[in-house]
Amino acid sequence: MKDNVSVQGTAHSDRIHDSAIKHVTGRADYTDDIALPAGALHAYLGVSDVAHATLKGIDLAAVRAAPGVVGVLTAEDVPGVNDISPTGLNDEPVFPTDNIQFHGQPLFAVIAETRDAARRAAELAKVDCDVLPHALDPIAAQDAGCPYVTKPLKLERGDIAPAFKTAPHRIKGRMNVGGQDHMYLEGHIAFAIPGEDDEVVVQCSTQHPSEAQHMVAHVLGVPSNAVVVNVRRMGGGFGGKESQMNLFCAVAAIAAKKWNRAVKIRPDRDQDMTATGKRHDFVIDYDVAFDDAGRIEAVDGSFAARCGFSADLSGPVTDRALFHADNAYFYPNVRLTSHPMKTNTVSNTAFRGFGGPQGVIAAERIIEEIAYATGQDPLDVRKANFYGGEGRDLTPYHQTVEDNILDRLVSELEDSADYRKRRQDIIAFNANSPVLKKGIALTPVKFGISFTATWYNQAGALVHVYNDGSIHLNHGGTEMGQGLNTKVAQIVAEAFQVDIDRIKITKTTTEKVPNTSATAASSGTDLNGMAALDAVKQIQARLVDFAVKKWEVAPEEVLFRANEVHVGAETIPFDTFIKQAYLARIQLSAAGFYKTPKIHWDRDKGQGRPFYYYSYGAACSEVTIDTLTGEYRVERTDLLHDVGRSLNPALDKGQVEGAFVQGMGWLTTEELWWDDAGRLRTHAPSTYKIPLASDRPRVFNVNLADWSENRELTIKRSKAVGEPPFMLGISVFEALSMAVASLADYKTCPRLDAPATPERVLMAVNRLRDGG
């Protein structure tokens, strides 16, 4: 819009995160920074030290007698329903009554005058139980005949059996893909302040305030209208705070009501890592048939996931793994099945990509297998199998890919990263370098946008214009660092044609916008931006109507322009105009609403259009490995990512960079390790290695595909950005794989498992050297 030149911070412009200065100066208030009311108490969880057992009793005498202890909460203290399962399957008690299901499972909570007192006392319980056999990983669970935690999914199209019989080539393999801890800077935290009658207010760090509200009501046995949940911001969520905060909110609220004092709970990092769920690790069995040129004819894929002891979000997570097991490739005949295995481990949960990355990496392994078997550059195999061309655009879930831009995006990156020449140079380098070996890979991403639970794709917003012309913006989304609030404020600034500084972004609260969805599935801006725009449009319609009557002009003569309102020949400052509207008794507040159109999904049939659109991207990474130690480094990465028409290129690039590095961490150094007793031994940054600044690519070129525009009517034709670039990290993994493959003259697919820690790289090198 050309008239908005003098308006600051509207859509499609670079704009720093609204809290950026506060983040770096330490002035941003997180839940732990909020002053507690006088007399506040602190809670700490007491946890199990066995993985599976019949619980006979807990002797809490020493705990109760410890200094500073006010009391203990156990399952018996739950006044409502002892269940916080987000699915309604009733499989996740606040505290168990008769069955311990994982090492580190919360069994009770100590309430004390200080956090330190509560934490020390929690160690003093004596748990009486009969230990039972446990199954820790999906294969052990399958072998032991453990049940699914939730209904599995099957996606099927065409007929795989004849293709497997007649195709010239067939390869079967297995890949282990590890999980990931969220490692948000701010851990889980909640505090509850009791109110009169049945009321309670909970301040916490959740991506899903409405669910936390409903859970607190459920465990207290009160209606949802008695509970308020507030979230100003999170110090990172990454999916880990979609459902995992339910426990902490429930404990704080139950204790607050029981003792009628404010109660805060904040586990330390070790307990946060052991007691809350992570990314699902998968064991993937694939079977692929292809022709001499490397074109896929059929794929049969089985995806077994370590879900942990309860369903939590494992159903939709394992579904999303299947939805992305094609990545960017057309499978003419396909069968994909999920196996959401119940294991005696913490219940795994949402994590950036939500199962999608585990599906995508399987597709990329299949491509690699074909490339090494046919002696081709993997990029050529990728291109030969891309969606597109006559009859080649139907996904395994029968949604047609209508918006594919990968041909252009990938060839642009191939040129800008100089992929072909560098690959030749690397092959030459490897031929002459006995110890150091290099690898390069260019991998694509296609990611489906929308919650697959169709009803989740709705949002609300509340916009007030005060009579001084200042604007109060609220919506149902939560801010976790991704810049959602900035983007929604930009949308409102643009619509009202006012400077963004006029808009106050306020905390998310269940009091202002009810029944919200988790801020997840990357759709925060798509949904809440549209809802906010709807609210603005309602207010504007009333303002236009007011001006038409007062100044006797046609509606087209009322224009919002650069902090002013043009009414016929008159130009009125925005705040003066608003004051006049107020005096004329015009309602200056509106609740907006949005629901995503076009989507539908029939899970039983495995068919529908679960996604409104796709986001695309591609990455090219080059690595060097040391074949004596397995150590490696990323020399250069080039990213080209599609965000449609970017609402804020600065924020979007930040998301792309951050997601790539997090994806790289998942596939390289971040390793979760449970011992035979089912105890997580990587439960702190000392033993769990996330990427450091020094691990980032030496050369890092990050670009947005600035020519892209969403063909669907999304907010300002933008696309979701939060999760899709996570899968760009796969380029590092594939580059490592190529470096390893050089040991056997690129004739064998290395079958590297994820994470490709230096140890795993070394083992893969030695295997290939030994000819296996």
Please give the residue ranges that form the binding site for ligand HPA (CB under 6 A): 242, 313, 316, 320, 350, 354, 451-453, 456, 518, 520-521
Catalytic (active site) residue 670: no
For ligand MOS, the closer of residues 120 and 446 by Cβ is 446
The minimum distance between CB 317 and ligand HPA, in angstroms, equals 8
End-to-end CA distance of the chain: 62
Question: In angstroms, rounded to a whole number, what is the distance separating the alpha carbons of residues 102 and 308?
Answer: 8
State which residue has the least CB distance to ligand MTE: 524
**Binding segment toward ligand MOS, per CB under 6 A, in 97-105, 344-352, 618-626, 663-671:** 344-352
Q: Output DSSP code: residue 649.
A: H
* Interaction between residue 528 and ligand MOS (CB under 6 A): no
Which residues contribute to the site for ligand MTE (CB under 6 A)? 236-239, 352, 480-482, 484, 519-525, 655, 658, 722-723
Site string for ligand MOS, 183-222 (x = CB under 6 A): ------------------------x---------------
- Decide if residue 350 touches ligand MOS (CB under 6 A): yes
Least Å from the CB of residue 361 to ligand MTE: 17
Three state DSSP letters for 539-601 = HHHHHHHHHHHHHCCCHHHEEEECCEEEECCEEEEHHHHHHHHHHCCCCCEEEEEEECCCCEE
Q: How far is the CB of 8 from ligand MTE (least distance, A)?
A: 22
Least gap, CB of 239 to ligand MOS (angstroms): 3
Nearest CA to 487 out of 37, 14, 27 is that of 14
Residue 181 vs 369, nearer CB to ligand HPA: 181
Q: Can you tell me the distance from the alpha carbon of 352 to that of 481, in angstroms, rounded to the nearest whole number?
A: 13
DSSP code of 42?
A: E
What string of H, E and C letters represents the secondary structure of 379-397? HHHHHHHECCCCCCCECCC
Using CB under 6 A as the binding rule, whether residue 521 contacts ligand MOS is answered as yes
How many whole angstroms separate alpha carbon 125 and alpha carbon 122?
A: 6
Report residue 265 as tokens.
Answer: 């709970």
Residue 437 and residue 743: Cα distance in Å, rounded? 8
239 binds ligand MOS per the rule CB under 6 A:
yes
| Partner whose binding site includes residue 481, from ligand MOS, ligand MTE, ligand HPA, none (CB under 5 to 8 Å by kind) | ligand MTE
User: Which one, 294 or 316, has the nearer CB to ligand MOS?
Assistant: 316
Contact (Cβ atoms closer than 8 angstroms) between residue 481 and residue 28: no
User: How near is the Cβ of 606 to ligand HPA at its closest, in Å?
Assistant: 16
Verify binding: residue 106, ligand MOS, rule CB under 6 A: no
Q: Please, which residue, 348 or 443, has the CB nearer to ligand MOS?
A: 348
Between 290 and 303, CB nearer to ligand HPA:
303
Q: Does 520 bind ligand MOS (CB under 6 A)?
A: yes
Interface with ligand MOS by CB under 6 A: which range of 161-169, 250-258, 348-356, 597-605? 348-356
Query: Which of ligand HPA, ligand MTE, ligand MOS, none sits in contact with 484, Cβ below 5 to 8 A by type?
Result: ligand MTE
Say if residues 180 and 361 touch (Cβ distance below 8 Å). Answer: no
Please calculate the CA angle 188-190-194 and round it to the nearest 5 degrees.
Answer: 170
Q: Which residues inside 694-723 make contact with ligand MOS, applying CB under 6 A?
A: 723
CB of 718 to ligand MOS, least distance (A): 17
CA gap 754, 756 in Å, rounded? 5
Number of residues that bind ligand MOS (CB under 6 A): 10
Binding string, 46-65, against ligand MOS, x = CB under 6 A? --------------------
426 vs 488, beta carbon nearer ligand MOS: 488
**DSSP notation for 190-249:** EEEEE-STT-EEEEE--S-HHHHHHHHHHHHT--GGGEEEEES--S--TTTTSSTHHHHH
Nearer to ligand HPA, 53 or 350 (CB): 350
Q: Contact 417/639 with Cβ under 8 angstroms?
A: no
A 10 A CB-CB count for 563 gives: 18
Closest contact distance (angstroms) between CB of 352 and ligand HPA is 9
Give the integer Cα–Cα distance in Å for 525 and 751. 38
Q: Which does 523 bind (CB under 5 to 8 A by kind): ligand HPA, ligand MOS, ligand MTE, none?
A: ligand MTE
User: Contact between 351 and ligand MOS (CB under 6 A)?
Assistant: yes
Contacted by 480, from ligand MTE, ligand MOS, ligand HPA, none: CB < 5 to 8 Å by type = ligand MTE
Distance CA 14, CA 757 (A): 37
Nearer to ligand MOS, 351 or 746 (CB): 351
Helices (H), 390-476: 406-416, 419-432
The single-letter code of the amino acid at 542 is R
Beta carbon of residue 520, minimum distance to ligand MTE (angstroms, whole number): 4
Q: How far is 570 from 547, CA to CA, in rounded Å?
A: 11
Determine which one of 552, 723, 734, 759 is catalytic. Answer: 723
Provide the minimum distance between the beta carbon of 355 and ligand MOS in the complex, in angstroms, as a whole number. 9
What's the per-residue H, E or C state across 132-187?
A: CCCCCCHHHHHHCCCCECCCCCEEEECCHHHHHHHCCEEEEEEEEECCECCCCCCC
- Give, in order, the Cα–Cα distances in Å from 766 to each of 368, 646, 769: 20, 46, 5
List the catalytic residues.
Answer: 723
Interaction site with ligand MOS (CB under 6 A)? 207, 239, 242, 350-352, 354, 520-521, 723
